[in-house]
Every structure is written in structure tokens, then in C-alpha cells.
Chains A and B, each alone.
Chain A
Amino acid sequence: MRTYTVDVLVVGGGAAGMAAAAAAAREGARTVLLERGERLGGVLEQCIHPGFGLHRYREELTGPEFAHRMRQELNDSGAEVLTGATVLEILPDGPAVKVVSPKGLKKFRPRAVVWAVGARERPFGALRIPGTRPSGVFTAGLAQRLLDLEGLLPGRRAVILGSGDIGLIMARRLHLEGVEVRAVLEIQPFPGGLTRNVVQCLRDFGIPLLLSHTVAEVHGRERLEGITAVRVDEHRHPIPGTERRIEADTLILSVGLIPEVRLIEDTVPLDPVNRGPRVNGRLQTEVPWLFAAGNCVAVFDLVDTVAELGERAGASAARYARGDLPSGKPVPLVRGENVVSLVPSCLDGTAESARMYLRVPRPMEGVTVDVGGVVRRRVPVARPAEMIEIPLDGDALSELSQKERIVVEVKPK
């Protein structure tokens, strides 16, 4: 097995990984990017709808267009790329990274690693929905790949469970391909995705959105024949007597993304709510040589944010590799009331600036985000679907870093 010494090894060729590798290479680090698929771009490649790049490129792009620009930036940066390369093991001692590809086994000895592998979809089985186990049940991402990358039709009559953005976008995509989308079911009393997607993907096409509803049972021995929809109470328990059968040959699930941490979960501490590694403002995990960015840290709304985090992680990793990444005493960020996702997990006073991202558990109006009593920001409308972004400048950071802990909370009006 050949061994290669590099400065920065980036795992994952989606938006976060491409941005990280480009940034690391621009910092002068000898950088290699590993992608397990055949081509770079990650989930962007299958997102053929527009709506990407408004922040990063100040124009509206499709997913593949966004990916194309990032590939060019990566190409210009001088980072090396290996596709079809799956990481088998990350040995903390060294560190060393074992990789397999159709060309054989390789071992890398990097000074720093950026974990940028994205998230996986929560599978049907995780929901413990009763009934049969027919074909025709897809996670939204799988249905999207089949439809948009392979040109294959998952079904003809579909029900969508979950109104996250991917579910909403798939409702529109299927409708445009002639699939009858019978309904989108959402277990919460509010939509899971962005308002613009509810309007542009469902309302504009007359697709019904059933809030406080879930699938009580699936039917069909071989191929899906239908589902039983049921209304749920405020504890998400099915209300007896509200069941109704909806005939469909396809059930699409958009029921949550889970940051992918396999291969690092025994090495680094994870945040129990984000379900990704705990990182500081520089996207450095609690294992100093390991950095992480994008949806494997926490699930973000916008690829623009993911790319920006990737850049920061890549630049930090490059600085770490050449031994000039400063480190101060980490001060943990602690969730106060009404905070679900929260990135980063700690701050130190050595950064010039940082950004904080958080999510609220339910729609709220006229709230104030309070960061350790130092930074306060009014947010007129806070929704679970939209991450709140709080920039922290050098002054705020130096004041916050004097504390033992920083409580982050969202105070109602």
C-alpha cells in the first residue's frame, strides 16, 4: 500500500469539501480532496432546481451550476482531487487515513483532516411505521437521484411525508414530471421547509399540505398500493378515528437529515443535538488536527453557508498544518431556552471574527437572541426552517472569551 504525505486531506467532494480544499490550497497547503462518488458536487448535482448562490455569487443558480463554479474554483486552487475514493479508516495516531478506490488501497499521512461528508437521510425504518414493506418507498434524496440524474420515474401517484425543503422540492419535481402528488403530510403543526418553497412548490401547483398528519400504515405486498394518513395531537400521537386511506404507488420521505459521523464518532466528541462533531469558531473539532464543515456538523439550510464554512475550515486546517493556528482557552456555548441546532460549540478569544448559527424549535415572533449577555439581536420572525445567523466581531469575541460559559438563548417577546 502506497503512503502519501500531505498537509491537508479533505474528505467529501460536496460544497463544503470543495470549498475547504480550495481554501486550504490557496493558503499554500499541499491539499488532496477525496470523493467517494464518480464526480464532484455532492448533493448539488441532483438539485436541478434554481435557488442556489444568492449569497455567494449574488445570482440565482441551479445546483449543478453552483457545483460547476465551485469545481472551477477548486481547479484554480491547485488542490488535487481523487474521485471514486472511499475512506475506510481514520487512525487518530499520526493521523493516518486509509482509502480504497478502483486503483487500489492508499494510505495518507496528513497534518490536518477536514471532514466534509455531509448528511444522510433518515430512513423509513427509523420511523417504525407499521404495515407491509413494499417497494415504492423512497427517501427524497434517492428519488431525486433516480429522477434527476438517471431520468427514471419512481412512480405515478405519490404521497410525500415530511415538508422539509427536500420534500417540498420533490413534490414540485414529481408534479412537473406528470406524477400525481396526492398530498404532503407534515407531523408538526407548521411546515418544515422555507416559506418560499411552500409557496413555489406546493401552493402554485395546488398540492395539498396536511399539517399535523403522518402515515399510520403502509399497504401493498409487492409494490406500494396506498397509505393510511392520520391526524396527530400536540404530542404527535395519532388521533383515533381520523384515519383515511390515500391510494398511491409511491411514498417519498423527507423526514430529516443526520450528520454523517461514521469513522470519526469514536475519535471526537459529538454535540448531542446537532449530532455532528463539536467545533469551535474555526471549525476545529476537539481533536486538534480534525476540522469539520457543512452538513456533517449540523444540518444547514443554504449551500452558500455550507461553502462559507468549508472555506473557513479549509483555511484553518492549512494554518494548523503549518503550525500557525492560534489557540486560546475554549469557552463552551450552552443552549438556553428555545435553541435547538447551535454551531459552533465553543469559542476562544483568538479569532478576529466568527459566525454563530442556531435554530429555534417552533415558529416564534418578535424574539431576541441573547449570546452570553454580550450580543443581543432582535429577530422579527424566527422559524425552525430558517437558521438564524449571528456575526460575532472581535470585540464581542474577546468579551465572550472571558466567561466560563456562554449561554445562548432565544427570548420570547
Chain B
Amino acid sequence: MRIAVIGAGAVGSLIARELCRYEAEVVLFERAPDVGWGVTKANSGIVHAGFHDEPGTTRARFCAAGNALYPELATDLEIPFRRTGAYVLAFTTEELSVLEELREWGEVNGVPGLELHRREEILAREPRVNPEVRAGLWSPTVGITLPWEIAIAAVENALDNGLELHLGEPVVGIEVSGGRVRAVRTDKGRYPVEAVVNAAGLFADHIAQMAGLEGPALHPRRGEYVLLDETTGGLVNVVLFPAPTQVSKGILVLPTVDGGLLLGPNAHDLPPDAREATETTREGLEEVIEGAVHLVPDLPLHKTVKTFAGLRPESPQKDFVLGETRVAGFYQAAAMRSPGLTAAPAIARWLAHEIALAHGLEERTDFRPVRKRIPHPADLPEAEWEALIRKDPRWGRIVCFCNRVTEGEIVEAIRRGARTLDGVKFRTRAGFGRCQGGFCTDRILEILARELGAEPWEVTARGGASRIVLGEARP
């Protein structure tokens, strides 16, 4: 049987990979030119513990379970994941009572290791925390990861297990007859299928409507971020949350897997039609800094290397919409607001299993769960790096000096599917360092053009009209 997954973000990619464990033909459709470029791309990258979610919600059901799957996922897919632990910090009496409530929620939700810590204990562990802190909820299972790397790795692994991937191919219609899903239509063709998984992120409501379903009603919620350079990560070693409000988990300070610090996000609800509104605002960035400085007063803001905004799908129910619908064969993995990234591995495993049960799919005996990352020789033992260089000297040519990315890595990223500057960046981290591509953009452009057999002015940053240079200077 043939199953279509719509949306190659972290959620859709992990679902596609889990479906590849069964005897089915899995087809993954993504409107963007690459995987992980929607909600997944601009995300805090936190693997939550599960104490933020009210017991009884679908979020609560899948968050701690997803967290528990991360070590295995990180090992199988060779993605960065580090359990840093986290504090939720309380500065007022009201916030102290919020911590109590979170601890109770966490215990009901099966979150291990929660402890209330006093001021002295917090400051001893994290001396840069605002000394006005009164107490903190310590959660040892909170971790950090790279969201887009999950999508990239899951898709690579799924491809290795027979996935059919359609990038840059938006779904424009879903054929339903007799109460069953029959086919998916894209701008390029018609694909008969017996099941569809809607993991279309911000556009999941549009996809559901194509199948004749109403919900969920989605609107984008914008979160803005400020990223500090890779020398700042040591200043704060755990994820720091403020006490949450009704609206959100608040503005955080957290270390990134690359060794920097990430500040944000704020949370602003946008009108339902503002689904491309990933611009930052002056007020928003000020709000992020103010919130971050409340947690850590002496942040080295002069080490800012990047600001960005991401959109996440929010629904009036503030909860995931998962599983089968009244259209037979049409499954939802929609309204994936926070903690969607954390829950994704657990949701993927559960949903694939549900689909397999419903359609009588056998488990494959030849599924290969392991994906090898692109080697990053700067992290390898010297002998291994030297062996790589002996095979191909390009592994000894550093292209991105900040993150020490070699030409060998870039060529390998292109071989694995990178077609744009961002595709290379997200796969290798070239251009993500302190100089933000100031020294390497021209070199990566040259390598992309050479490897793709294209002219430099045909290469884009992220598809569409995002060309980097517009032509020859004196043709």
C-alpha cells in the first residue's frame, strides 16, 4: 500500500521514517525546496521534560514519552542531543506557587527527577543567574538538539529505507470518495494513495480542508530570537525558563549545541493569513532582550551574531490534533505547537503503529535504523582526519573558518541533497559561526556552482528568487 506524508518538518520526517519500518510504499511531499525549512527551522531546539503541559492534554501524553526516545534517536540518527537539565526560575511569591504546580503536573505526566532548589543552590550551579531569584524547579531530563538536523537525518535514513521524496512539490488537492482517501494531487501530478498523514505544520488546516475536514483552525504564533556567538555558551550551562504564563513558556536563555547562547522566544499571535510573516520587529527584539536579561543580567549582547523569527502553528485548543479522522485513511499530526519537537518521536512511533494496525501492515525485517552523519573531521581523532585527507585532500581544506567546515563536508552535503546555500549551512554549519558567512559565502557559492554544474548566479540562498549574485560583472 502507498502512504503519503505531507510536510517534511521534524514531525513529518520522523513519521515518514517510522512508516518505513512497515511493508508500505512511503511518499513524502514538501512544498519547500528542502526539508525542515518551515516551523522546524526557527525553533528553540529544546527537548522538554513534560512538566509544562497540563495533565490530560495530548501534549502531556506525548512530551515525556518523546523526551525518553531522544537518546535512542540521537544514537541511531547521529544527531546532536545533550541533556543539559533546566531550571524554571521564580522571582516572586506568585511564581513560587507556579513552580509547585509545575512539579505536580510533571509528576502526573511521568517526568523524572524534578526537584525544587533554593536560591543558593541555583547560584552555585549557574552563577550568572539573576541573584534576585528565589527558587527554581530543577528538571534534569531537559535537553537541547538541532531541530532541522532531525528532519535532515530522518529523511536521509528514510531514503535509505526506500522513501520516495518529493521536494518543492506542494500538495494542491486530496481526493476523497466513499469516505476514503484515494489520491494526493500536487502541482506536478496525481498520486493514488490509501493513506495520508497531514504533518503540514503551519498549513495543516489547509491540507485538512482539502480532504473535506474542518479543523484544526490554525494561526501563526511568532517567536523572535537573538543568537550570541559560539564563545558565550559556557556562561550558562542549563536551559533557563522564567515561570510560565497562560500564554507561553516565556523568554528563555539556553546554550545551543554549537556552543552559543540563544535568547527567546517571545510569543505574538498573528492573523491566520500571516503565514510567511517571519520578520523580526524592533519591539520584539527588545522584548526578547529584556526577558533574557531578567534571567541573566550580564549577557554579552555585543556578541550577537543573528536575530531571527519563527512561526509555529497555534490553535484555539492549544493542543495537538492527532490520529484518524472521519475520512478513512486520513491521519492528522497537526497543530504541532510546543512541545511538538519533543513529542515528535513518540507521536511518529505511535501514529505509524496505528496506521499499520488499521491497514494490516507487516513490520519489515530489513529496516536499517542507523544513519551516519556527515563526518566533521575537526571533531575526529587526528588519525581519522588524516585518513580522510589521504583519500581526498578536500577534507583538509577548511572553507568555513569559524566552524572549521572542510570542502569535503560541503561536497558530501551536496551529494546528500543540498542544492542551496542554506541547504549546505543546515547540513554542515558552514556560515553559522561568528562571521556569519562573511569569509565563506563566496567559497561555498563556488563549490555549489561547480558541483551542481550551474552558474554562480543560478545558485540561491533558499530557493525561489533568493539568488546570491545576479550575474557577471562585465559579461
Q: Do A and B come from one complex?
A: yes
Interface residues of A (CB under 8 A from B): 1, 36, 84, 86, 88, 100-105, 120-121, 123-126, 128-135, 138-139, 141-142, 145-147, 149-156, 177, 216-217, 221-223, 238, 249, 262, 265
Instruction: Name the A residues within 8 Å of B305 (CB-CB).
Output: 123, 125-126
**8 new A-B contacts at CB < 8 Å, known A84-B396, A130-B285:** A102-B393, A102-B394, A104-B390, A130-B284, A142-B442, A153-B469, A177-B473, A222-B465
Q: How far is the CA of A155 from the CA of B36 in the complex (A)?
A: 28
A219, chain B: closest CB distance, angstroms: 8
Bin the interface of chain B by size: 35 or more
7 closest A-B pairs by CB: A125-B306, A102-B393, A123-B436, A135-B461, A222-B465, A222-B466, A135-B466
Q: How far is the CA of A124 from the CA of B461 in the complex (A)?
A: 16
Instruction: Name the B residues within 8 Å of A147 (CB-CB).
Output: 473
Interface segment among B7-15, B339-347, B348-356, B381-389: the answer is B381-389
Please, which residue of chain A has its CB at the minimum distance from the CB of B276? Answer: A221
* B231 and A100 contact, CB distance less than 8 A: no
Q: A84-B397, A120-B438 are in contact. Are A222 and B385 (CB under 8 A)?
A: no
Instruction: Name the B residues within 8 Å of A221 (CB-CB).
Output: 276, 464
Asked whether any CB of chain A lies closer than 8 Å to the CB of B398, the reply is: yes
B461, chain A: closest CB distance, angstroms: 4
Asked whether any CB of chain A lies closer than 8 Å to the CB of B434, the reply is: yes
Q: How far is the CA of A217 from the CA of B394 in the complex (A)?
A: 40
Q: How far is the CA of A103 from the CA of B457 in the complex (A)?
A: 32
* B307 and A125 contact, CB distance less than 8 A: yes
Asked whether any CB of chain A lies closer than 8 Å to the CB of B161, the reply is: no
Q: How far is the CA of A118 from the CA of B438 in the complex (A)?
A: 14
B283, chain A: closest CB distance, angstroms: 9
Asked whether any CB of chain A lies closer than 8 Å to the CB of B273, the reply is: no
* B279 and A123 contact, CB distance less than 8 A: no
Instruction: Name the B residues within 8 Å of A142 (CB-CB).
Output: 437-439, 441-442
Instruction: Name the A residues within 8 Å of B285 (CB-CB).
Output: 128, 130
Q: How far is the CA of A133 from the CA of B305 in the complex (A)?
A: 13
* A153 and B470 contact, CB distance less than 8 A: yes
Instruction: Name the A residues within 8 Å of B461 (CB-CB).
Output: 134-135
Please, which residue of chain A has its CB at the minimum distance from the CB of B464? Answer: A222
* A141 and B438 contact, CB distance less than 8 A: yes
Asked whether any CB of chain A lies closer than 8 Å to the CB of B471, the reply is: yes
Please, which residue of chain A has its CB at the minimum distance from the CB of B460? Answer: A135
Q: Mark B271-286, 1 if CB is under 8 A from A, else 0.
A: 0000010111110110
* A1 and B278 contact, CB distance less than 8 A: no
* B438 and A131 contact, CB distance less than 8 A: no
Asked whether any CB of chain A lies closer than 8 Å to the CB of B102, the reply is: no
* B304 and A126 contact, CB distance less than 8 A: yes
A239, chain B: closest CB distance, angstroms: 13
* B385 and A100 contact, CB distance less than 8 A: yes
Q: From A104, A131, A223, give the contact of B396 (CB < 8 A).
A: A104
Can you list 10 pairs linking A and B with CB atoms under 8 Å apart? A84-B397, A100-B385, A102-B393, A125-B227, A125-B305, A128-B304, A131-B279, A151-B473, A153-B469, A153-B471
* A128 and B307 contact, CB distance less than 8 A: yes
* A262 and B460 contact, CB distance less than 8 A: no
Q: How far is the CA of A366 from the CA of B98 in the complex (A)?
A: 63
Q: Mark B432-475, 1 if CB is under 8 A from A, else 0.
A: 00111111011001100000000011001111111111111110
Please, which residue of chain B has its CB at the minimum distance from the CB of A139? Answer: B438
Q: A86-B401, A88-B378 are in contact. Are A133 and B457 (CB under 8 A)?
A: no
Asked whether any CB of chain A lies closer than 8 Å to the CB of B240, the reply is: no
* A120 and B470 contact, CB distance less than 8 A: no
* A132 and B386 contact, CB distance less than 8 A: no
Instruction: Name the B residues within 8 Å of A123 (CB-CB).
Output: 305-306, 434-438
* B470 and A154 contact, CB distance less than 8 A: yes
A302, chain B: closest CB distance, angstroms: 22
Q: Mark B205-247, 1 if CB is under 8 A from A, else 0.
A: 0000000000000000000001100010000000000000000
Q: How far is the CA of A96 from the CA of B227 in the complex (A)?
A: 33
Instruction: Name the A residues within 8 Å of B373 (CB-CB).
Output: none
Asked whether any CB of chain A lies closer than 8 Å to the CB of B308, the reply is: yes
* B439 and A152 contact, CB distance less than 8 A: no
B465, chain A: closest CB distance, angstroms: 4
Q: How far is the CA of A252 from the CA of B41 in the complex (A)?
A: 26
Instruction: Name the B residues within 8 Å of A84 (CB-CB).
Output: 396-397
Q: A128-B307, A152-B472 are in contact. Are A102 and B438 (CB under 8 A)?
A: no
Q: A104-B396, A123-B436, A146-B442 are in contact. Are A134 and B466 (CB under 8 A)?
A: yes
Asked whether any CB of chain A lies closer than 8 Å to the CB of B404, the reply is: yes
